[in-house]
Chain A
Amino acid sequence: MNNRLTNLFTHKKENLLAIYFTAGFPALDQTIEIAKATAEAGADIIEIGMPFSDPVADGETIQQSNQQALDNGMHLELLFSQLANLRKEVEVPVLLMGYLNPVMQFGLEKFCQKAAEVGVDGLILPDLPMQEYEETYRPVFEQHNLSNVFLMTPQTSEERIRKIDALTNGFIYVMSSASTTGKTGAISTEQEAYFERVAKMKLKNPRLIGFGISDNASFSKACQHANGAIIGSAFIKTLAQSQQLNKDIGTFIKTVKGETVLS
């Protein structure tokens, strides 16, 4: 696999920051605007969420952003049309993240084709089982040069982590704890021990830590144990409260990365 995502990992191996936001939130037509501001402020990877009515793996913040995006009228056809000029505006790798059902209804082939066409580099579908991936989805993803990202958790066995590593061709999404998205609080020593256990496995794929990463402290800590980290809920909260999108996105990302923010 050779795309913007795999290329990124060949030249940058630490302090990678991935930012998640839900397409269609806070307003329907800000997808490109947010992606562009996020990349310009220094995010290395962008994950665009495809809203779903029943996001069972998500906590309240992302649930509400999904619902509002749907209420605003977001759907996949519209998202792809918004992304038509993505690659004129944004250079960093972009992944689509969401639940399986809307993708199934859109049609797997057509979905992957459109994603590749607008310049998407990979997919994260948390409710796509490994067995289904191997049997049905993998050939289609690969045909369209789309990386697939699997998640792992503190409960994932070593054997299964090895299997995830073998099937992954982008990065491994290391969930910081057994929880839905949006959990807050500092990273515990227990979590650090788990990150180290995984680091010692010498996996072939880069690892990004996500769930509960929200600020400079948690981002820095995560980066000590992996190639980088993913922020979702905390960013969504910033968007929800923002009066000046560009400025607030810039401040958020620079703060997380520990850079001086000029006001």
Chain B
Amino acid sequence: MNYQVDTRGYYGDFGGAFIPEILHPNIEELKAQYLDIMQSSDFRAEFDSLLKDYVGRPTPLYFAKRMSKKYQTNVYLKREDLNHTGAHKINNTIGQILLAKRLGKQKIIAETGAGQHGVATATVCALMDIECIVYMGKIDMARQRPNVERMRLLGAKVVPATSGSQTLKDATNEAMRHWINHPTDTHYIIGSVVGPHPYPDMVARFQSVISEEMKTQLLEKTGSENPDYVIACVGGGSNAMGAFYHYLDRPEVRLIAVEAAGKGVDTGESAATTQLGKPGVLHGSKTILMQTSDGQVVEPYSISAGLDYPGIGPAHAHLFASGRAEFMSVTDRDAMEAGRLLCRTEGIIPAIESSHALAVFEQRKFAPDEVVVLNLSGRGDKDLQTYIDYEFE
């Protein structure tokens, strides 16, 4: 089975570029150039040096001793939370801003849910002195207030998306509309492995640094590049794809993708896309999508703004359909408990997105000799108010 994108821009039955004609030249330009640019030596040098000196990579692979003891297995945390700006998102924005410069673009737009991608985009735009507009759902602006302030401090303009559910889906719609109206001078930095081809592949490649480092670090710590399991949360799926990337063709490494169940998969307030969705087309690609029987996109729900999206990247839809990855879902409550547990066992406050992945240890037993790597995608600073306000049992 092939898990990489094919020449038509598809992963199995999923992917493609379902875009209005106006965006065709932009997508063609990207498609024609992204691999050449990314593989050029000057790009690699600049990308690698920024990841090292500016972002702080490689991020540690930390053996979580007390967690391992509690769950009777070997838990390693890939510390993406220690990246500059607090999440994995910056791996992608560094890559895309360097690409945008080489494409001669003068302006950047982005969508954001939790605000992590928005902050990571505003950050690289400040670094490169490029104008930046970030679209964010009005509801998300309220629940991720500190990140809105961060983006503004960094010089970005934050525009509220007031249509639909006023969350990530609608912010993405608004960003696409902006791009349609400004197709020549603007690059759209999509924040996850979603959107029309070649975005899912491009973002996956920028995030693949996560599993590239994991291989070296695991070899050093355990004597093997391969863990038994890799666990990651999935909103659009960029941190998960980064953590899975170099293991996709190693079937002995099992992959667990964790979706947000919200208040429960059957409550009507959920974002568990693979359980509730069907194949459909949104934001430029064919993927699994939460929708009504009439094909209208359903407004998802999760306590975590970064997982509150009705689709998943097309590569994940393929991992799901082919059975290569196992998809699990975790409720708000279980995620919040797991997040608090990590604070108290390891002294690490995780992003609520990452807490969803952590909750897998309560649902699933791993053997004492197994090695489990959990991609800790971000830190919980932005979620402090949600943790404080949450009524733990």
* Interfacial residues, chain A to chain B (CB-CB below 8 A): 52-54, 56-57, 59, 63, 67, 70, 75-77, 99-106, 126-129, 131-132, 150-153, 155-157, 160, 175, 178-180
Cβ of B113 to closest chain A Cβ, rounded Å: 15
> Quick one: which of A57, A127, A180 contacts B281, CB cutoff 8 A?
A127
Cβ contact of B21, chosen from A76, A77, A106, A152, cutoff 8 A: A152
Highest count of chain A CB atoms <10 Å: which of B164, B283, B293, B294: B294
* Complex contact B20–A57 (CB within 8 A): yes
For residue B159, CB closer than 8 A to chain A, the reply is: no
Residue contacts A-B, CB under 8 angstroms, 25 given: A52-B295, A53-B164, A57-B22, A75-B294, A100-B281, A101-B291, A102-B295, A102-B296, A104-B279, A105-B293, A126-B20, A127-B18, A131-B8, A132-B16, A151-B20, A153-B21, A155-B22, A155-B183, A155-B184, A160-B24, A178-B180, A178-B181, A178-B183, A180-B177, A180-B181
Please state if B22 and A56 are interface contacts (CB–CB under 8 Å): no
Q: What residues of A have a CB within 8 angstroms of the CB of B169 in the complex?
A: 54
Q: How far is the CB of B195 from chain A (nearest CB, A)?
A: 11
Q: How many A-B residue pairs have CB under 8 A?
A: 103
Contact A76 B297 (CB under 8 A): no
Q: Does B17 contact A (CB under 8 A)?
A: yes
Chain A residue contacts of B176, Cβ below 8 A: 56
CB distance from A69 to the nearest CB of B (A): 11
Taking CB atoms, residues of chain A closer than 8 Å to B283 are: 54, 56
Tell whether B139 is near chain A: CB-to-CB under 8 Å.
no
Q: Is the CB of B20 within 8 A of A104?
A: no
Chain B: which residue is nearest A99 at the CB level?
Answer: B281
A183 to chain B, nearest CB (A): 8
A-contacting residues of B (Cβ < 8 Å)?
A: 8, 16-22, 24-25, 163-164, 169, 173, 176-177, 180-184, 278-284, 289, 291, 293-297
With A67-B164, A105-B294 already in contact, 18 other A-B pairs whose C-beta atoms are closer than 8 Å: A54-B297, A75-B294, A99-B281, A104-B295, A105-B280, A105-B295, A106-B295, A126-B20, A127-B20, A127-B281, A129-B19, A131-B8, A150-B21, A151-B21, A155-B22, A155-B24, A160-B24, A178-B181
Q: How far is the CA of A218 from the CA of B173 in the complex (A)?
A: 28
Nearest A residue to B21 by beta-carbon distance?
A: A151
Distance of A137 Cα from B181 Cα, bound (Å):
28
Instruction: Name the distance in Å between A198's Cβ and chain B's nearest Cβ.
Output: 14
Tell me if B281 and A104 are in contact (CB < 8 A). Answer: yes
- What chain B residues lie within 8 Å of A76 (beta carbons)? 294-295
* Complex CA–CA separation, A153 to B19 (angstroms): 13
Which A residues are in CB contact (< 8 Å) with B25?
155-157
Query: CB-CB < 8 A to A57: which residues of B?
Result: 20, 22, 177, 180
Chain A hits for B293, CB < 8 A: 105
A101 near B280 with CB under 8 A, answer yes
- Chain A proximity of B124: nearest CB distance (Å): 25
Given known A100-B281, A127-B19, contact A180–B297 (CB-CB < 8 A): no
CA distance A178 to B176 in the complex (A): 12
Q: Are the C-beta atoms of A101 and B22 separated by less than 8 Å?
A: no
Contacts of A179 in B (CB 8 A): 22, 180-181
The distance from the CB of A42 to the nearest CB of chain B, in whole angstroms, is 29
Shortest Cβ distance from B109 into chain A, in angstroms? Answer: 13
Output the least CB separation between A217 and chain B (Å): 22
Output the nearest chain B residue to A57 by Cβ-Cβ distance. B20
- Contact B16 A129, beta carbon cutoff 8 Å: yes
Q: Are A104 and B280 in contact (CB under 8 A)?
A: yes
Q: A150 CA to B20 CA in the complex, in Å?
A: 10
* Distance from B256 Cβ to chain A, minimum over Cβ atoms (Å): 29
- Of all chain A residues, which has the CB nearest B175? A56
Of B17, B18, B182, the contact of A100 (CB 8 Å cutoff)? B18
How many angstroms from the CA of A131 to the CA of B279 in the assembled complex?
Answer: 19
Please report the C-alpha to C-alpha distance between residue A154 and residue B173 in the assembled complex, in whole angstroms: 22
List chain A residues, Cβ under 8 A from B289: 101
- Per the bound structure, the CA–CA distance linking A99 and B281 in Å amounts to 9
A52 contact set on B, CB distance < 8 A:
295-296
Query: B16 to A156, Cβ gap below 8 A?
Result: no
